[in-house]
Amino acid sequence: MPPPDECHHNPNEDDVNSPTSPLNLLDQNYQELHQNCLTENTLYNDELFPPDNSSIGLFDDLPPEVDMSQVVWKRPSELVSDPNLIVDDVSRFDYAQGNVLGNCWFLAAIGALTFEKDIIKQVMPAEQSFTKDYAGIFHFRFWRFGKWIDVVIDDQLPTIDDELLFVCSKTSNEFWPALLEKAYAKVCGSYADLHAGFISEALMDFTGGTHMYYTLNTAPADLWKIMECAFKSKTLMGCGSNTVVRKTKSWIQSIVIYFDENPVQLVRLLNPWGEEEWRGDWSDGSPLWDTVCEEVRKICHEVLNNGEFWMSMEDFTKIFENIDICCLCPDFLDGSAECHWTSKRHFGRWNAGTTAGGDIIKTETFWTNSQFRVKIDELNEECASGQLPENILVSLMQNHEKRHRNSQDNFNIGFYVFEMRSESGRFSSEFFIDREPVAQTDELVWFREVMKFFRLEPGEYLIVPCTENLGETASFVLSVFSKNETHLE
């Protein structure tokens, strides 16, 4: 699989950056600011994300023991004598969620991130520390709505009684979790803007790659194979449930073990709250572990109340509701080093009165939505023999233009794919009369992103992204991933 910065993406003129050449958030250049602090022998103070209540934001509900008037912003060196960014490498067990901020979706994504060292280096650039060239300034990189951005922060953190207000490390002198959370809070507008969300949002912002989403009660029969391939590649995965162990989990690992000489598919999960675990079959205390060989028990079985647990694939698909798979690129799906997926991306906009025609039932206006022609060529021999029949993935993401994440509501969005013949030009309403789409999103939903993984035969197709209602104005990013050579215009 290609390294993190080589995913066969074909950029257009609006998309030329990468994790190694990101845009600067708010025009803050880390190298220049860092050097200025070293030259002037001062610690950096970020005036664009200042140490005050504007950066914390407004919370609708706070625990009674939390008095925001008592918040004091302190640098790590004011809290411990020997602060470190990382102590003994990064781990999913390094941090604990604070009591104020409901961002378990973000922390669950961090748990998945800790398994992929290449992606960690992409998000958290190396050569930052509290010793060599320390100046109270750090930077992190995220993918936001089709663009990689570099985010500069100072290391002043909100505390009450010398305890961190939000995420904290279980090792008192380790601060990468708190600084990563602060950088993401700056991107989203404030700490309060991190309250509530979907794990897929953070997974995408860590990778900038391909997102696949499955509803588990209707998942394809080959989901286990997809998960197994994903685990062996540079892929982040997460899942959600409203009924077991709080609300959001980070999906970590999959294995097959033998029980009474029969294979059993197991998945390992992490509850980001750090406590409360599955109590059924294959849980920490399950007697089923006594039936497997000692070698497997040594590798897999730990009786610890650390929020991590195993369960069977059968129980997983019954109890959990969805799974998100976010990878740097989907080459792993085919199991062939010779078959490489490519991607095309386009930045567009729905404008009221011109290109916001609503969904397909708005027969008189649907055709006014943006229309994208896709030509798919024949597969080569290597790609044609891939493990999965699907050969194209289409993603539609609505681009938030407001600074504060929670100040902008999503519209219900989706897309339709139609087969073309030899038609040319822009298609009017007549083209869509009595013409059934060959593929479409399952429904129009208010998620930040919707996607569909499907198969198209070689030929020409038309993709029409839309909002549900006529006249809804928003920007969007349309991405097409394909293992065929794809032409998008």
Share of the chain above pLDDT 90, in %: 41
**Strands (DSSP E) along 145-295, which ranges?**
147-154, 157-160, 163-164, 168-169, 210-215, 235-240, 248-259, 262-270
Q: Are the C-beta atoms of residues 77 and 130 closer than 8 Å to each other? A: yes
Q: Which domains does the chain have, with CATH numbers?
A: 9-204 (no CATH), 210-325 (3.90.70.10), 338-488 (2.60.120.380)
The whole-number average pLDDT for the span 230-250 is 67
Active-site positions read: 104, 271
Q: Kindly report the average pLDDT of the chain as a whole number.
A: 85
The β-bridge relationship of strands 23-24 and 147-154 is parallel
Report helix, strand or coil for 307. coil
Q: What amino acid is encoded at 230 in this protein?
A: A
More confident residue, 75 or 399: 75
Q: How confident is the model at residue 439 (pLDDT cuts 50, 70, 90)?
A: very high
CA nearest to 398, candidates 440, 442, 434, 347: 347
The whole-number average pLDDT for the span 22-28 is 96
Q: Are the C-beta atoms of residues 462 and 373 closer than 8 Å to each other? A: yes
Q: How confident is the model at residue 160 (pLDDT cuts 50, 70, 90)?
A: very high
Q: What are phi and psi of 2, to 5 degrees?
A: -65, 155
Minimum mean pLDDT among 119-123, 124-128, 228-232, 314-318: which range? 228-232
Q: Is the pLDDT of residue 84 over 90?
A: yes
Q: Is the pLDDT of residue 140 over 90?
A: yes
C-alpha to C-alpha distance for 7 and 482, rounded to whole angstroms: 12
Q: Is the pLDDT of residue 428 over 80?
A: yes
Minimum mean pLDDT among 47-51, 88-92, 286-290, 415-419: which range? 88-92
C-alpha to C-alpha distance for 237 and 251, rounded to whole angstroms: 5
Share of the chain above pLDDT 70, in %: 88
Report helix, strand or coil for 169. strand
- Return the pLDDT at 6: 42
Q: What are phi and psi of 228, to 5 degrees?
A: -65, -45
Q: Are the C-beta atoms of residues 313 and 257 closer than 8 Å to each other? A: no
The whole-number average pLDDT for the span 247-272 is 66
More confident residue, 141 or 426: 141
C-alpha to C-alpha distance for 481 and 7, rounded to whole angstroms: 11
| Inter-helix orientation angle 199-207/104-113, to 10° | 40
C-alpha to C-alpha distance for 117 and 131, rounded to whole angstroms: 22
Q: Are the C-beta atoms of residues 443 and 451 closer than 8 Å to each other? A: no
More confident residue, 337 or 35: 35
C-alpha to C-alpha distance for 245 and 318, rounded to whole angstroms: 14
More confident residue, 10 or 478: 478
**Residue 37 C-beta-side C-alpha neighbours within 13 Å:** 17
Continuous H helices in 84-163: 104-113, 117-123
Q: Measuring CA to CA, how many Å separate 232 from each of 90, 115, 227?
A: 20, 11, 9
Please name the residue that has the structure tokens 């998000």: 123
Q: Are the C-beta atoms of residues 90 and 176 closer than 8 Å to each other? A: yes
Q: Are the C-beta atoms of residues 246 and 320 closer than 8 Å to each other? A: no
Q: What are phi and psi of 376, to 5 degrees?
A: -110, 125
Please name the helix (run of DSSP H) or strand (run of DSSP E) that holds residue 413, with its range, or none. strand 413-419
- Return the pLDDT at 28: 98
CA nearest to 201, candidates 328, 278, 106: 106
C-alpha to C-alpha distance for 263 and 255, rounded to whole angstroms: 10
Q: pLDDT by residue (tens digit) across 178-218?
A: 999 999 999 999 999 998 888 889 999 999 888 888 888 88
C-alpha to C-alpha distance for 35 and 41, rounded to whole angstroms: 10
More confident residue, 102 or 445: 445
CA nearest to 464, candidates 345, 342, 366: 366
The whole-number average pLDDT for the span 267-280 is 78
Q: Are the C-beta atoms of residues 419 and 370 closer than 8 Å to each other? A: no
- Return the pLDDT at 300: 83
What pTM, to 2 d.p., does this model score?
0.88
